[in-house]
Chain A
Amino acid sequence: SQTIHQWPATLVQPVGSPLSLECTVEGTSNPNLYWYRQAAGRGLQLLFYSVGIGQISSEVPQNLSASRPQDRQFILSSKKLLLSDSGFYLCAWSWGGLRDGTDTQYFGPGTRLTVL
């Protein structure tokens, strides 16, 4: 079976500090990977997605970046955090490739980031 891990679970960082959030998936190969941010009580905003190693697509302009150094590893980074970067960050995976009926994304436990 497949599992998805995210760490850390919570993070408090000062404005201007760097950020690195990690996500790993087990039990599958060549998954599609996604980073979302969720403001309190709201829907999910897609930040980045990746269909393969080194392939990153950005959905919104921001001071965040993403990388996929290995097939099942997805990293969200920032060089200098802003107050507006606070939120709940979720990583998700789905089956990769041209499949029908496999639109379901499976989410990790999330990281709650507070920028002070």
Chain B
Amino acid sequence: EDKVVQSPLSLVVHEGDTVTLNCSYEVTNFRSLLWYKQEKKAPTFLFMLTSSGIEKKSGRLSSILDKKELFSILNITATQTGDSAIYLCAVARSSNTGKLIFGQGTTLQVKP
């Protein structure tokens, strides 16, 4: 059965800390891995990763994929209170349906 597992499930840090969120997967016909940030309402897209070892970066956020070991990490440096959110990892399989398999999410709280 396909599955996506995120760790930790929750995390509390202080402003300025660096955090690493993990996402491992066991999915047949893997095509891509996506990261989303969800604050109050709709998840917003962060990154899509398809190739191993190529870092995607946006400001203080970065992510990398390891297709051999079947995992991805999302790094956030110099955290701010605005980074507090649920971070969702999802995997897409090769198909024309576009379905994503989501992990449980990591709830990050950044304290001032």
> CA separation between A102 and B23, bound complex, in Å?
20
* CB-contact partner of A104 in B6, B48, B99, under 8 A: B48
Q: Which of A13-21, A43-51, A64-72, A75-83 contacts B (4 or more CB under 8 A)?
A: A43-51
Given A49-B97, A51-B98, A105-B34, output 19 extra A-B contacts at Cβ < 8 Å.
A34-B99, A41-B86, A43-B104, A44-B88, A44-B90, A45-B102, A46-B102, A49-B99, A96-B98, A98-B96, A100-B31, A101-B32, A101-B48, A103-B48, A104-B34, A104-B48, A105-B100, A107-B43, A109-B41
Given known contacts A43-B88, A90-B42, A109-B42, is B100 in contact with A103 (CB within 8 Å)? yes
Q: Are B32 and A106 in contact (CB under 8 A)?
A: no
What is the distance, in angstroms, from A70's C-beta to the closest C-beta of chain B? 19
List of A residues within 8 angstroms of B92 by Cβ: 103
Q: Are A44 and B50 in contact (CB under 8 A)?
A: no
Chain B, interface SS category: strand
Q: Are A42 and B104 in contact (CB under 8 A)?
A: yes
| Interface residue tally for chain A (C-beta within 8 Å) | 28
